[in-house]
Amino acid sequence: MTTPVVTMGDGPRLTVSDLVGNPLWIPSKIKELMLNQFISEALFRDAGANSAGIVAYTEGDPMFLDGDVQDIAERGEIPIAIGRRGTPVVAYANKRGLGVGVSLEMIRENKIGQVQYQITQLVNTFKRADDKVARTLLQSSAVPSLAITNDWDGVNGNPRLDIARAIRQIADAAPSIASTDESYGFEADTIVMNPGLLPTLLDNDKFLKIYNGNVASEHPAFSGSIPSQILGLDVILSKAWPLAEVCVLQRGVIGFFSDTWPLEITGLYPEGNGPLGGPTQTYRCDATHKRAIALDQPKAGYRLTGLLA
């Protein structure tokens, strides 16, 4: 029978000295824990790599040509229409990073718990930083927003209606210069919210009415958690998201990210490049990446603000 190794405390007993002797163990664990943890990678599409740290793109590209399909007489000339583009914009890649250290004391006194805790803290810090980047982008003035009139924690609050309005606004979004029957064709599929909204939703009868019949098993009053979907929208929770706001959007359409280099994590190495970890008697591991991230279709999102009194 085999024993699964989930933490350093599972399986054969590891020491800090073992970790230093295997300099790839800590970076491998960090990378494993960071996999699929970044909200920006869940909301925005991967636009591929960039080699120069700069990405040129256009914002708000229309979905139609500048002319319509026309009737053509026999031997008549087929008309040609010109493609339309949005506003040219440039996004610059930003290098970010952080490291953790293993001191000589941690090695000789075998403080394995401190090493584990640092790994967890590093992962959480990277995740928090990514949450903040996504929040800053989605809160930009380019993303349409509405301050609701009836707070969700008030007697007249109606989360269902407000979310449905946001879905409709995204479906009707069109370029600023467009014909009456032209739209981007966006379809909202995601809602981003703070998990702290749960008590408010649990106390709102109009919201709870969504869950009956075949979906009673997801009823928040029974499960004690925010459901995986609301009005057909996948729910993504972020503690970095403001408590009194939600953002409805079409995932993978509203924006993109492009890596100059993806997340890189070094092997453990002596900080001072000398014996016993050098003059600081510390071994370190560094995590860095360089990424450009931007919204190229900001009208594929819609923010609802002022949800709470």
Tens digits of residue pLDDT in 240-258: 899 999 999 999 999 999 9
17-26, 30-39, 219-228: least confidently modelled range? 219-228
Longest dimension (CA), the chain: 90
Domain 16-62+87-139+258-295 has CATH 2.30.29: no
Single-letter code of the amino acid located at 309: A
pTM: 0.83
Tokens of 232: 């057909």
Q: Where are the domains of the chain?
A: 16-62+87-139+258-295, 145-254+299-305
In which band, very low, low, confident or very high, does the pLDDT at 1 lie, cut at 50, 70 and 90?
A: very low
By C-alpha distance, which of 173, 114, 125 is closest to 302?
Answer: 173
By C-alpha distance, which of 296, 295, 291, 305 is closest to 259?
Answer: 291
Tokens of 292: 């450009």
Single-letter code of the amino acid located at 100: V
Residue 56's CB is within 10 A of a number of other CB atoms, namely: 9
DSSP string covering 109-145: TT-HHHHHHHHHHHHHHHHHHHHHHHHHHHTSTTS-E
By C-alpha distance, which of 40, 38, 36, 303 is closest to 191?
Answer: 303
Integer Cα distance of 235 and 252 in angstroms: 15
- Say how far residue 285 (Cα) sits from the centre of its chain: 25
Fold matches, 16-62+87-139+258-295 and 145-254+299-305? no
Tokens of 227: 């459901």
18-22, 132-136, 246-250, 280-284: least confidently modelled range? 18-22
Share of the chain above pLDDT 90, in %: 64
Residue 44's CB is within 10 A of a number of other CB atoms, namely: 25
Would you say residue 115 has pLDDT above 80? yes
Helix, strand, coil percent content, the chain, rounded in steps of 5: 30, 25, 45
Single-letter code of the amino acid located at 156: N
Q: How far apart are the first and last CA of the chain?
A: 57
Span 145-254+299-305 CATH architecture: 2-Layer Sandwich (3.30)
Residues 123/37, Cβ–Cβ less than 8 Å: yes
